[in-house]
Amino acid sequence: MLCSMERMTNKMFDKKYRCPHCGVSFYETADNTIERKISYNYSQEEAENNIQRGYECWLRQTISAVYHYCPACHEYSVQITGPNNIFSFTYPPFRGLNLPEYIPAALRNDYNEACAILDASPKAAATLARRCLQGMIHDFWGVNEGNLAKEISKIKEKVPAEQYKVLDGIRRLGNIGAHMEKDVNLIIDIDPGEAQKMIKLLELLMKDWYIARHDREELYEDILTIDEDKQQQRHQE
């Protein structure tokens, strides 16, 4: 089996990549992205042996390794994609954000697990994102109908219209992993990039709901404390 390597540089990419170290998204450019392709040339005999063992095989196979340098945290990561996209993973694995402890542990655990399995099973990550969303609605909004569709409908008037639509979108996408299609031969996959967008939306919702509420309450308390202190100073004079 022969091996060759091709280095691709000075190539501009029209897509964003999310750093698994710090979570910052940036556009791929020739300055921060390099792709290496490793090609394997199988002999006819090797290819036939692989086919007999149940593997789909061509005489020439190519593995792609895309290296990224994050301009925010200055760390490196790599995306590996197998021949004909039979596998794909990122190293190091996407770790997600360090969520504050005032967000319930059950929600943080679902979020962290979704991040951990993002590359290995995007469909399972999407299902966990759906579960995490339902838990957020139960906890933050105090709505528990036993059915996510009904629960999202209950908060329709409490969230922006565009947010309501995307909440229902997460529900439907999560259903792909949670429920079998009526036609068992119909396979609908979710790729890592799509699952990552669902996780990113969870982060946005946690910021909009939990973190914004915490910061607001903390600020209100600080202002009231300052006011109380100033009023005491006035009365002492």
User: In this structure, which amino acid lies at residue 192?
Assistant: P
State how far the Cα of 17 lies from the Cα of 121, in Å rounded to an integer: 19
Residues in contact with 199: Cβ distance below 8 Å, sequence separation at least 6, in sequence order: 96, 111, 114, 115, 118, 125, 129
- Would you say residue 56 has pLDDT above 70? no
Give 14's pLDDT tier (boundaries 50, 70, 90): low
pLDDT tens profile 189-225: 788 878 888 999 999 999 999 999 999 999 999 999 9
Q: Quick one: pLDDT at residue 7?
A: 47
Check whether 179 has a pLDDT greater than 70: no
Could you tell me which residues are beta bridge partners of residue 40?
3, 61
C-beta separation of 47 from 8 below 8 A:
no
pLDDT-derived band at 151, boundaries 50, 70, 90: very high
* C-alpha distances out from residue 87 to 24, 38, 173, Å: 24, 15, 21
Average pLDDT over all residues of the chain: 82
Residue 10 confidence class, pLDDT cut points 50, 70, 90: very low
Q: At residue 185, does pLDDT exceed 60?
A: no
Q: What percent of the chain has pLDDT over 70?
A: 79
The dihedral built from the CA positions of residue 164, 167, 171 and 177, taken in this order, carries a sign that is positive
pLDDT band at 43 (very low <50, low <70, confident <90, very high): low
pLDDT digit string, tens, across residues 68-107: 999 999 999 998 888 777 777 888 877 788 899 999 999 9
Distance CA 133, CA 175 (A): 12
**Residue 183 pLDDT exceeds 60:** no
Which pLDDT does position 51 carry in this prediction?
Answer: 57
pLDDT at 224: 95
Contact 118, 91 (CB under 8 A): no
Rg, the chain, Cα only:
24
The pLDDT of residue 233 is above 90? no
Q: How many CB atoms neighbour CB 223 within 10 A?
A: 10
Instruction: State the pTM of this model.
Output: 0.69
Query: What residue has token string 């933050």?
Result: 140
What interhelical angle do 161-178 and 122-141 show, nearest 10?
130
